[in-house]
Amino acid sequence: MEEKEKAFQTTIVNILNQVRSIQESLQCMIAMLALPDEKDWPTLLGNFGMLSGQFNSVLQILRSERTPLLRNQILLPTRLSMDIDPELENLTENRISSWNHAVVPNYLRTKPEPQIEQKDQQVHVHVQQRMSNPDSVQKQINSFNRCVNSVLDILSTVIREESEDSEDGKVPSTCYNPEDTRKLVAAITTGKYLRPAYTGNQTNRSSGSGSAKSATVKQQVKDTP
């Protein structure tokens, strides 16, 4: 019994040490990303590699044969209080101030929330209903296979045509016009080749001014002897 307790305590200590090292690495990486200066990408990649190694170390501890099954351990709160606990604040880095009725269900939850559990059950029921009818499942599989085969046929045809064109020495057809591309770039950058948009009011004004000018000319012709 004492050996099991020692093994359990040793495992918990090792996991806590690894988690603390992961936390420190994450804090350093977040601080580097928050800097306004240019990022040192090789250092960031090195930190990513170190984080990956630390996570693998935790997984190795959990998967080790010497590690006792943590899921068999029962964790129960012995005392709930609304008072502020300084020791708890120190252990949780000021994330939890009191071990009360509102905190315990979230931190000691062994099942998902009721809404998520209900959605999960609905998904399982839907899958079971689909699997209970093998004919519909087989039809869907056949339809999917037909779609995949048609896509593969199209791709193989395109690849074969391109290989034949390259063997014959044909120049591949272009799907764009360089002159149009140049005009588009000039229109976007300098506004070249753009025509002003004429509205109906401008047309009416121009026609009105033209008619006024013609009326003035006619009046002048009549007044001349």
Measured on CA atoms in the order 88, 93, 98, 104, is the torsion positive or negative?
A: negative
Asked if residues 98 and 83 have their Cβ atoms less than 8 Å apart, the reply is yes
**59/66 Cα distance (integer angstroms):** 13
pLDDT of residue 168: 67
Asked if residues 37 and 43 have their Cβ atoms less than 8 Å apart, the reply is no
pLDDT of residue 173: 63
Domains of the chain: 1-73 (1.20.58), 74-130 (no CATH)
**22/53 Cα distance (integer angstroms):** 10
Q: What is the pLDDT along the chain (225 residues), one digit of tens a residue?
A: 577 778 888 888 888 899 989 988 898 888 888 877 777 788 888 888 889 999 998 888 888 877 777 777 777 888 888 899 999 899 888 889 998 888 888 888 767 778 888 898 898 888 888 777 778 778 888 999 999 999 999 999 988 888 877 766 665 566 778 888 888 888 888 888 777 655 555 545 555 555 554 545 445 444 444
**83/88 Cα distance (integer angstroms):** 11
178-189 pLDDT tens trace: 888 888 888 888
pLDDT of residue 2: 74
pTM of the model: 0.43
- The length of the chain is 225
75-88 pLDDT tens trace: 788 888 889 999 98
